[in-house]
Structure 1
Amino acid sequence: MHEVQHISIYIDRLPSEVYEFASNPENLPRWAAGLASSEVKRGRDAWAAESPFGKVKIRFAERNTFGIMDHDVKLDSGVVVHNPMRVVPNGDGSEFVFSLLRRPGMSDEQFAEDKQAVEKDLATLKELLERRS
């Protein structure tokens, strides 16, 4: 069993609007600097991008009506990191939830850094989407 941190942020936009933007891999460089630091390009079976930790391949869950945006990130080393991600209704807006799973061998410091990176990315997403309304 792995330690999990559920990181969430309220976004004052409809869940369908948040999902439409955040589930589009081409938008990742605009808000998810912790994952994509370059243009995200469609490959045969996955999306590809440069990240702060090297080249990655990203596979998203199929589009759905439940707000599920789970995605697997394959690192150059071949390690695959599963990232559960959701948008759910919360009042007149949305709650965006990212579940950060602690990888085997990850130090407390590395886990804390990952958490901070996710929090920063979610704050960027919030600012970007709320500014668009």
Structure 2
Amino acid sequence: MHTISGRAETRTISIAAPPSTVFDFVGDARNLLKWAPGFAPNIATSGDEWVVDYGTEKLRLIVRTSRDAGTVDFLRAADPRTGGFSRVLPNGEGAEYQFTLVFPAGTPEAAVADQLKIIDEELQTVRRFCEAA
């Protein structure tokens, strides 16, 4: 039997830019410095993984992309079932960017609300960069 171990929350933003522009921007992990600097203040490649350096600790990521499916997932190398899951969808001549995060069971509501506020701000930043391109 399969169980659900957390709570998933998805945020979506409409972007007046072609899906390919949005996919290219979010699919390049180096751009995390531009749109998610709180999550990735310093990031460097290490083989097939990316290392986010917080100064006191490091997080190893796998950035899994599929242009055909429009998916860009930011997965913890230690447990690729966890991380942020995103998708770029066509919307007319523009795009929708969806970002899903699964919170561990028991995460306090205030912590979820705080993280969702940050994600909403990050998505606004993605929109600004992609629409300016």
Q: TM-score range by the shorter chain?
A: 0.7 to 0.9
C-alpha displacement of 1:63 = 4.0
1:67 aligns to 2:70 (yes or no): yes
Where do 1:91-110 residues align within 5 Å?
91-110=92-111
Which runs of 5 or more structure 2 residues have no equivalent in the other structure? none
Question: Relative to structure 1, is the Cα distance of residues 52 and 93 closer, same or farther in structure 2, using a 3 angstrom cutoff?
Answer: farther
SS for the counterpart of 1:61 is strand
User: Which residue in 2 is equivalent to 1:44?
Assistant: 47
C-alpha displacement of 1:98 = 0.4
Aligned-partner Cα distance in 1 for 2:31–2:12:
19
SS for the counterpart of 1:5 is strand
Match of 1:8 among 1, 5, 12: 12
Question: Relative to structure 1, is the Cα distance of residues 4 and 47 closer, same or farther in structure 2, using a 3 angstrom cutoff?
Answer: same
Do the aligned partners of 2:9 and 2:101 also contact (CA within 8 Å) in 1? yes
Do the aligned partners of 2:7 and 2:105 also contact (CA within 8 Å) in 1? no
Structure-1-length-normalised TM-score: 0.85
Aligned-partner Cα distance in 2 for 1:8–1:86:
9
Aligned-partner Cα distance in 1 for 2:38–2:11:
14
Relative to its length, the structure with more strand (as a share) is 2
Aligned-partner Cα distance in 2 for 1:73–1:91:
33
Give the root-mean-square deviation of aligned CA atoms: 2.1
Question: Relative to structure 1, is the Cα distance of residues 99 and 8 closer, same or farther in structure 2, using a 3 angstrom cutoff?
Answer: same
Deviates more, 1:55-64 or 1:26-35: 55-64
C-alpha displacement of 1:82 = 2.3
Match of 1:20 among 16, 19, 24: 24
User: Which residue in 1 is equivalent to 2:58?
Assistant: 55
C-alpha displacement of 1:52 = 9.4
Which runs of 5 or more structure 1 residues have no equivalent in the other structure? none
Q: Share of identical aligned residues, percent? A: 24
C-alpha displacement of 1:18 = 0.7
C-alpha displacement of 1:104 = 2.6
Structure-2-length-normalised TM-score: 0.85
